[in-house]
Amino acid sequence: MLINGTAATNGTGTTGTGTGTTAGTGATGGAAAAGSSAATGATGGINLGGTDFLTLMLAQLQNQDPTSPLDSNEFLTQLAQLSEVQGISNLNTAFSTLSNSLTSSQALQASSLLGHTVLVTSSTATVAAAGTVTGALQVPQNSAQVYVDVTDANGNLVQQVNLGAQSTGLANFTWNGTESNGSQAPPGTYTFTGQVAGVTSSTAIPMYINGVVQSVSMGGTAGSTSSSSSSSGTASTGLTLNVAGQGSVPLSSVLQISN
């Protein structure tokens, strides 16, 4: 009976049960503490990866309440959300890599423009002493008479270039840098305006000016570097051409390229 008494002594068994319960609570508290720590880490700027989330989910499964287990649908939803977030992250990385590759390729192609003459969208040009300006205007319709008015920085008419009759499309012009009285125009910035007979003065005539590409910049921002330099720059908004007489011009503004 003493043996039975020992066997019947459930204090140890009860204590074991109590200890088990305490351990369970401790584990649950540990998972909660881990979750809290992870949340605090995320708030502090530490990024949690997919492995971290899976670890937390496994801890949640291991320490779930047996009387109220985790809903399988909720678990699958969490997995789907994790997969979606990882997919978006991978997609962003892929697009970033593609963007860098395209930018490098575009820069290599643009570097071949150095020394070439480009026709860019512009109605002004900075002219040096005894300089000549060439360009074009977009004639909207067939016209018996087309002019290009050249004005100085004060708005004074310096010269009028007569192009005669022109058909619809680009009409090239050349200003030799002289004023209407035959004297040489001083260095400065001049504006070119198209006049097309039969077209109202309120209609804007697109103007284009030729210039030589002197350098190519990545992004055209502070820290960007010309393609003629050996140091690397910071790409941001695309490629910018440094064109003589025009300054910085976006590559998208180039209409024609010639030798």
In a domain, 242, yes or no: yes
CATH number at residue 203: 2.60.40.4070
Task: Compute the average pLDDT of residues 8-33.
Answer: 39
Per-residue confidence (pLDDT) for residue 201, from 0 to 100? 82
The structure tokens 């004060």 sit at: 154
Per-residue confidence (pLDDT) for residue 235, from 0 to 100? 36
In a domain, 208, yes or no: yes
For residues 26 and 142, membership in a common domain is answered with: no
Q: How many domains is the chain partitioned into structurally?
A: 2
For residues 30 and 143, membership in a common domain is answered with: no
In a domain, 177, yes or no: yes
Per-residue confidence (pLDDT) for residue 111, from 0 to 100? 80
Is the pLDDT higher at 201 or at 57? Answer: 201
pLDDT at 4 over 50: no
Task: Compute the average pLDDT of residues 190-214.
Answer: 93
In a domain, 84, yes or no: no
For residues 130 and 232, membership in a common domain is answered with: yes
Report how far residue 212's alpha carbon sits from residue 189's, in angstroms, rounded to the nearest whole number.
17
For residues 55 and 124, membership in a common domain is answered with: no
In a domain, 102, yes or no: no
Q: For residues 242 and 213, is the Cβ–Cβ distance under 8 A?
A: yes
What b/e string do you get for 40-76 counting C-beta neighbours within 10 Å, with b at 16 or more?
A: eeeeeeeeeeeeebeebeebbeebeeeeeeeeeeeee
In a domain, 167, yes or no: yes
Condensed to tens digits (0 to 9), the pLDDT of residues 215-229 reads 988 764 433 333 333
In a domain, 78, yes or no: no
Report how far residue 228's alpha carbon sits from residue 230's, in angstroms, rounded to the nearest whole number.
7
Q: Which range is most confident: 12-21, 47-56, 130-139? A: 130-139
Tell me which residue range forms the domain holding 31: 2-40+51-59
Q: What is the pTM of this model?
A: 0.57
For residues 229 and 156, membership in a common domain is answered with: yes
